[in-house]
Structure formats: C-alpha cells, structure tokens
Amino acid sequence: MKKIVLGTLVCSVAAFAAVNLGACKGCHGANFEKAALGKSKIVANMTKQEVSDSLVGYKNGTYGGPMKGVMKGQVARYSEADLRSTGIGK
C-alpha cells in the first residue's frame, strides 16, 4: 500500500524535458533539498554525473539503497539518454 501511495505522489506533478522532474520534486523537494522519505541522499548536494549515474543505476538495478525498488519503478519508463540529460545536480 505504501508503494502505491508513494508512486501516486511521485507521479503527480508537471513535466520538464523528457524526464518528469516535477515527480522527483514530490519526494526530493522543490529544489532537491530533501532526503526523500528521510532515506535518500540529498540530490542538491550531488554532482550532475552522480545524479545521472544513480538514475541509470536504478534503471538497470546496479544502484540503490532502501528506496531502490521505488526508484526502479520511477525511472523504468525513461531511456538511459533521458536519465543522463536531466540537468539535475551541481
């Protein structure tokens, strides 16, 4: 049930570029300043390379901690190129 509620929350905001960054902001904060559900890294502190590597790793199952299952579902619909071009990070 938690996964359904979380998935609905994450998928409920506006799109940017090919990846729906609004959905990311639902858990990670408007400026990516939050640890999603108190468990993730703070995305705003990550480099663009770290973010893209993480997103691609979630997609192919080679990256992730406690939120791995949730994030794998969130990135599944995007291509690797889409995930690498989000522009998130410093």
The span from the CA of 80 to the CA of 70, in Å, is 18
Burial environment of residue 65 by CB neighbours within 10 A (0 to 12, 13 to 18, 19 or more): exposed
Position 39: which residue type? K
User: What residue spans define the domains of the chain?
Assistant: 2-84
Quick: pLDDT tens for 55-78: 999 999 999 988 899 999 999 999
CATH class of 2-84: mainly alpha
Instruction: Examine the pLDDT at 11 and tell me if it is beyond 70.
Output: no
**Which of the two residues, 53 and 16, has the higher pLDDT score?**
53
pTM over 0.85: no
CA–CA separation, 79 and 90 (whole Å): 22
Q: What is the pLDDT of residue 43?
A: 95
pLDDT score, position 10: 43
Q: How many CA atoms lie within 13 A of 38 on its CB side?
A: 0
pLDDT digits (tens, 9 = 90+) for 12-42: 333 334 788 888 999 999 999 999 999 999 9
Query: Would you state the pLDDT for residue 44?
Result: 96
